[in-house]
């Protein structure tokens, strides 16, 4: 019998899929995988109902013109430079295939969103991580000197994620400017994963492409913005002139994203902007963040407050992700799932707070009960 290639043999269920499966198995409150418990907004659902039965066949590989135009208007770019993808995951895969290959190195920050590593390796490239360091106060700092030192003649791209999953770190304009200067000096591509661009709790995160439009690919997600992660509508805003090749490349991955859902997102994007949907989303999530953070602190946990995303990192002695899902009935993501180098910075857990307040309260109550049966060990 022939064998699967090593890359397939070494492929495993992702931590997100696993924690959602275990949450189902143990009847746990799922604060693991980052998807909202609320329904998507009615204006999005209605637009989808209108599109099914009307826009059911393939779209052009670059995406429905209406959606590319809507994204262009929303992002402040030319719609012709936008490629619609089957989720941000496909966008990131396409960029890996297009921008680096065997012998190349790709810089990324650690903790690292798990798919960046296998996507680089599938492209034949080597992921090189630069650590974000966590201070005593629970702030994650970026040492630009370390990024500079990690650049080699083989470095082809810098993959940034802001707001950053899992730490919630929002990179400042000064940090981005320094990274752009580095990218220009070494002629690197910039990939900016901005799927949480509308989910922030302070100032709006600066967008990398405004600083380096000639070399930045911006990745976005309707799933994250419009609370419909299962729809698989993402996008890439490309430097001018490059969208055609990326669209051609994606003909061999998924050909196009689901057409009726593209039509629905095209209709919904201007409505979301006009009606203050994102402001409402941020207000709702800020309240949930504080509910969860205060509750976890009351249980003796140390909590890092995020600047964006719908995740927070927390730790408390005595917790393990396995014990929490199985015995406490709360699914979370262990921090070491985001580590490229083992061992990972110990004891941190990522909690998703994109869940109904009642679910967050239920999770806190369960953690409280679990804490009583499993006292804090130092
Ligand atoms: N972005 C989501 C998270 O961080 C998960 C994405 C996925 O499971 N593909 O939880």
pLDDT (tens digit, 9 = 90+) per residue, 4-16? Answer: 999 999 889 999 9
pLDDT at res. 342: 60
Q: Is the pLDDT of residue 341 over 90?
A: no
Over residues 14-37, the pLDDT tens digits come to 999 999 999 999 999 999 999 999
What separation in Å is there between the alpha carbon of 8 and the centre of ligand 1?
A: 20
34 lines ligand 1 (CB under 6 A): yes
**In the 8-state DSSP scheme, what is residue 325?**
I
Model confidence at 315: pLDDT above 80: yes
| Cis geometry, peptide bond prior to residue 64 (ω within 30 degrees of 0) | no
pLDDT tens per residue across span 236-271: 999 999 999 999 999 999 999 999 999 999 999 999
Whether residue 375 has pLDDT greater than 60: no
Across-strand partners of 315?
302
Tens digits of residue pLDDT in 191-222: 999 999 999 999 999 999 999 999 999 999 99
- Separation in Å, CA 378 to CA 318, 319, 371: 8, 11, 14
**Is the backbone of residue 227 left (phi > 0), alpha (psi -120 to 50) or beta?**
left
Those residues whose C-beta lies under 8 Å from the C-beta of residue 213, and which sit 6 or more positions away, are 239, 240
Ligand 1 atom nearest residue 33's Cα: 10
User: Ligand 1 in contact with 216 (CB < 6 A)?
Assistant: no
Can you give the residue ranges of every domain in the chain? Answer: 6-40+277-373, 42-275
Q: Report the run of H or E that residue 133 belongs to, with start and end.
A: strand 126-134
Instruction: Please tell me the distance between residue 32's alpha carbon and the centre of ligand 1 in angstroms.
Output: 9
Nearest to 71 by CA among 245, 273, 336, 301: 273
pLDDT one-digit tens code per residue, 70-127 = 999 999 999 999 999 999 999 999 999 999 999 999 999 999 999 999 999 999 999 9
Closest to 253 (Cα-Cα) out of 15, 84, 53, 9: 84
Instruction: List all residues 6 or more positions away from 284 whose beta carbon is below 8 Å from its beta carbon.
Output: none
**Which three-class secondary structure state does DSSP give residue 194?**
coil
- Is the CB of 278 inside a 6 Å radius of any atom of ligand 1? no
Three-state DSSP class for residue 113: coil
Tokens of 37: 């418990």
**Which of 35, 234, 333, 337 to mutate to test ligand 1, by most ligand atoms within 8 A of the CB atom?**
35
Q: Ligand 1 mean position to 360 CA, how many Å?
A: 19
Quick check: CB of 43 below 6 Å from ligand 1? no
Whether 6-40+277-373 shares its CATH topology with 42-275 is answered: no
Cα 195 to Cα 88: distance, rounded to the nearest angstrom = 7
Going by alpha carbons, the residue nearest to atom 1 of ligand 1 is 34
pLDDT at 172: 97
Percentages (nearest 5) of helix, strand, coil residues in the chain? 45, 15, 40
Instruction: Determine the atom of ligand 1 nearest the C-alpha atom of 224.
Output: 1
The reported pLDDT for the residue numbered 112 is: 96
Ligand 1, residues 13, 18, 32, 34: which to mutate, most atoms within 8 A of Cβ? 34
| Ligand 1 midpoint to CA 375 (Å) | 31
Percent residues over pLDDT 70 in the chain? 97
Backbone angles phi, psi at 159, to 5 degrees: -105, 115
**Ligand 1 and 20: CB distance under 6 A:** no
Residue 142 near residue 132 (C-beta atoms within 8 A)? yes
Cα 262 to ligand 1 centroid, rounded to whole Å: 20
pLDDT tier at 378, thresholds 50, 70, 90: very low
Contact present, 366 and 328 (Cβ < 8 Å): yes
**Cα–chain center distance at 242:** 23
Burial tier of 198 (Cβ tally within 10 Å: 0-12, 13-18, 19+): buried
Nearest to 159 by CA among 196, 130, 139: 130
Q: Tell me what pLDDT residue 136 has.
A: 87
pLDDT band at 343 (very low <50, low <70, confident <90, very high): low
Give the integer Cα–Cα distance in Å for 299 and 214: 48
Residue 372: pLDDT band with limits 50, 70, 90? confident
Domain 42-275 falls under CATH 3.40.640.10: yes
Residue 30 CB–ligand 1 contact under 6 Å? no
Q: Where does the pLDDT of residue 371 fall: very low under 50, low under 70, confident under 90, or very high at 90 and above? A: confident
Q: Can you list the positions of beta strands (E) in 194-240? A: 216-221, 234-237
Give me the pLDDT at residue 138, please. 87
Strand order in the sheet with 333-334: 302-304, 311-315, 349-352, 333-334
User: Average pLDDT over the chain, rounded to whole?
Assistant: 96
Distance 34 CA to ligand 1 centre (A): 5
Please say whether the beta carbons of 317 and 376 come within 8 A.
Answer: yes
Q: Any idea which fold 6-40+277-373 has? A: 3.90.1150
């Amino acid at each position: 019998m022939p064998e699967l290639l090593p890359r397939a043999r070494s492929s495993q269920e992702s931590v997100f899929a696993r924690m959602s499966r275990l949450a189902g198995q143990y009847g746990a409150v799922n604060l693991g995988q980052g998807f909202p418990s609320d329904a998507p907004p009615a204006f999005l659902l209605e637009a989808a109902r209108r599109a099914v039965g009307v826009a059911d066949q393939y779209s052009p590989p670059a995406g429905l013109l209406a959606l590319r135009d809507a994204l262009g208007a929303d992002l402040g770019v030319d719609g012709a430079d936008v490629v619609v993808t089957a989720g941000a995951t496909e966008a990131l895969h396409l960029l890996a295939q297009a921008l680096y290959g065997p012998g190349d190195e790709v810089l990324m920050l650690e903790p690292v969103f798990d798919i960046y590593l296998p996507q680089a390796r599938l492209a034949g490239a080597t992921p090189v991580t630069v650590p974000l360091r966590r201070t005593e106060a629970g702030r994650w700092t970026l040492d630009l000197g370390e990024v500079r030192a990690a650049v080699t003649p083989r470095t082809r791209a810098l993959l940034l994620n802001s707001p950053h999953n899992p730490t919630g770190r929002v990179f400042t304009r000064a940090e981005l400017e320094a990274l752009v200067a580095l990218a220009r000096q070494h002629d690197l591509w910039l990939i900016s994963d901005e799927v949480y661009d509308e989910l922030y709790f302070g100032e709006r995160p600066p967008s990398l492409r405004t600083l380096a439009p000639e070399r930045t690919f911006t990745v976005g997600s309707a799933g994250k913005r419009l609370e419909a992660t299962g729809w698989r509508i993402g996008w890439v805003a490309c430097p001018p002139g490059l969208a055609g090749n990326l669209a051609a490349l994606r003909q061999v991955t998924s050909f196009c994203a689901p057409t009726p859902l593209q039509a629905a997102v095209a209709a919904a994007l201007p409505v979301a902007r006009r009606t203050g949907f994102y402001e409402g989303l941020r207000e709702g999530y800020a309240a949930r963040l504080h509910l969860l953070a205060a509750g976890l602190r009351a249980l003796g946990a140390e909590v890092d407050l995020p600047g964006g995303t719908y995740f927070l990192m927390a730790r408390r002695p005595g917790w393990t992700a396995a014990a929490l899902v199985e015995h406490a009935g709360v699914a979370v993501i262990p921090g070491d799932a985001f580590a490229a180098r083992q061992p990972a910075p110990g004891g941190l857990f990522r909690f998703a707070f994109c869940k109904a307040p009642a679910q967050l309260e239920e999770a806190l109550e369960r953690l409280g009960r679990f804490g009583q049966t499993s006292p804090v060990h130092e």
